[in-house]
């Protein structure tokens, strides 16, 4: 999957060049997009997605292990960002009807949160 993302990621590279030209991106476009493409290529299960979403909804505390895996503020910021930017061309539209932040990933996976401490997840076949 990483090779496919790398070969077809022109839009992502364009966005990286735009952020670099404005001074926001400090590393090379190639380095930044490689990290992004590798993150997009991780294989996760529906259960993994649900635990990730529930961890964010729980303020950064994994609901299964009860361990804090990230700070409360970053988890709240992640929820806010996914609510606004998580589903590409449809970003924000799911927020109006459900009040659940969503994140679409390459294989059409979604992990909306049901604050304060739970999440649901669904996946669909990859392209």
- The helix (H) or strand (E) run that includes residue 119 is strand 118-119
Domain boundaries for CATH 3.40.710.10 within the chain: 46-119
What Å distances lie between residue 121 and 16, 20, 21, 99, 108, CA to CA? 29, 34, 36, 15, 11
Q: By three-state DSSP, how is residue 114 classified?
A: strand
Are 6 and 34 in contact, with CB atoms under 8 Å apart? yes
Pick the CATH number of 46-119 from 3.40.50.970, 3.40.710.10, 3.30.1390.20, 3.10.310.30: 3.40.710.10
Q: What is the pLDDT along the chain (127 residues), one digit of tens a residue?
A: 888 888 989 999 999 999 999 999 999 999 999 998 998 888 888 888 888 888 888 889 999 999 999 999 998 888 777 766 655 555 555 555 554 555 554 333 445 555 555 566 666 655 4
pTM exceeds cut of 0.75: no
C-beta separation of 83 from 115 below 8 A: no
Burial of 67 (0-12, 13-18, 19+ CB in 10 A): exposed
Using alpha carbons, select from 64, 97, 58 the residue that is nearest to residue 78: 58
What lies within 8 Å, CB to CB, of 47 at 6+ separation is: 121
């Amino acid at each position: 999957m990483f090779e496919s993302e790398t070969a077809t990621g022109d839009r992502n590279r364009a966005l990286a060049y735009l952020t670099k030209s404005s001074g926001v991106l400090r590393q090379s476009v190639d380095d930044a997009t490689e990290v992004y493409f590798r993150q997009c290529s991780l294989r996760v299960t529906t259960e993994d997605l649900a635990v990730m979403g529930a961890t964010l909804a729980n303020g950064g505390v994994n609901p299964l292990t009860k361990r804090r895996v990230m700070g409360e503020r970053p988890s709240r910021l992640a929820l806010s960002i996914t609510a606004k930017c998580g589903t590409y061309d449809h970003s924000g539209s799911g927020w109006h009807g459900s009040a659940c932040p969503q994140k679409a990933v390459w294989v059409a996976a979604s992990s909306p949160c049901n604050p304060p401490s739970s999440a649901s997840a669904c996946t669909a076949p990859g392209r």
